[in-house]
Amino acid sequence: MNTPSTIFFSLLQRAVGENTSLPQKIDADTWQKIYELAKQQALLGIVFFTVDTLTEEQRPPKALMMQWWGMTERIKQQSKRLNEVAEKVEQRFAADGLRGVVLKGVGMAALYPHPLNRTPGDVDLWLESERKAIVEAIRYVDKVVFQTDMEKVRPVKELGADAVFVGSDWKGTDAWNQYEKDFA
């Protein structure tokens, strides 16, 4: 059955080296649905690699093909920029004596046949060090203070801190809202 999702998965399989069959002709409406599915799954560039290898009869309409090509080129540029940033971040940590590994995102893209076609996301780093040393290595951090109790206002006022960073897992709670008032 040639539904948009089955054709999408066939295109994706081809992009990673599998030899799957495709219909000889795919109508414009189906191509639009395939494009939207690839966009939703952040796989536009990966699937485009396969689409670009199809025969003229199998390809999407010219307008969609151009749109897809343009988005793929944008993805490639974003990937290049993110790769440069990831490299600089890794070099910065290395210069401070912190060993690390790029995970997910940039690191995973290297496993694809065309790494730059993978939609970039965030850069996750694993660093071999204690959390305090990692945070201290950040250029804009003046001092790292461990939290020893749930009191947040007193230490901030005692230290004269300009900014405080905490996880957002409790954002919107009564305590969060009260701290925002206290720090205002």
Residue range 134-156: mean pLDDT, rounded: 75
Given the structure tokens 């939207």, which residue do they identify? 36
> Where are the alpha helices (H) located in the chain, listed in sequence order?
4-15, 28-40, 44-51, 62-95, 106-109, 131-136, 153-159, 174-183
Give the pLDDT confidence score for residue 105 in this predicted structure.
67
In tens, the pLDDT along 70-108 reads 999 999 998 888 888 878 877 887 887 777 766 666 667
Give the pLDDT confidence score for residue 173 in this predicted structure.
86
Tokens matching residue 167:
């996880």
Per-residue confidence at 27, pLDDT binned at 50, 70, 90? Answer: very high
Given the structure tokens 């793929």, which residue do they identify? 72
Per-residue confidence at 112, pLDDT binned at 50, 70, 90? Answer: confident
Is the per-residue pLDDT at 152 higher than 70? yes
In tens, the pLDDT along 51-68 reads 999 998 899 999 999 999
